[in-house]
Amino acid sequence: MKILVAIDGSEQSFKAARFAIDMARRLDASIVLLHVIGIPQFPHHLGSLDEYYRRIEGEVEGWFNTISNWEESRGMSIGRRIIHSHTSIVESIVEYAEEEGFDMIVVGTRGRSRFMRALLGSVAQGVITYARCPVLVVR
């Protein structure tokens, strides 16, 4: 069994990761952490697009390292994947899960800020709607 966990750095996504790691351990499943970087709406405020991607990727690697260092993660091989989306975050998650043959997607219910909560709530809803495999939403 292969489990994909969508991570955005929020408390909810870390809860989803903990749940997925526990599930993967019990089921002897493989697990991959995924973060999708969307194209910023106002790139001129953020410097170059390359600078933006490098900054976000560094932050995401920190999240991945935090999760990999949890007690629950010890002894597990946890995959990591960062995707640059040119479409939508939902589409990128769903397409990656299909292309790589994941059996389940695990997501949190909300994101990092008020604005992101609404956005990532809609991401969770979109993944539920379009994924062809089961989706587990962790509250």
- pLDDT score of 25: 96
DSSP track, 29-40: -EEEEEEEEPPP
Using alpha carbons, select from 82, 76, 87, 72 the residue that is nearest to residue 33. Answer: 82
CATH of region 2-138, choose from 3.40.50.300, 3.40.50.740, 3.20.190.10, 3.40.50.620: 3.40.50.620
Residue 71 pLDDT grade (very low, low, confident, very high; cuts 50, 70, 90): very high
Phi and psi, residue 49, nearest 5°: -65, -40
Amino acid at position 59, single letter:
E
- pLDDT score of 42: 67
pLDDT digits 0-9 by tens, 17-70? 999 999 999 999 999 999 999 877 765 665 788 888 899 999 999 999 999 999
Question: pTM here?
Answer: 0.89
CA Rg value for the chain: 14
Amino acid at position 76, single letter:
M
Q: Return the domain boundaries, the chain.
A: 2-138
pLDDT digits 0-9 by tens, 101-134? 999 999 998 655 444 444 446 889 999 999 999 9
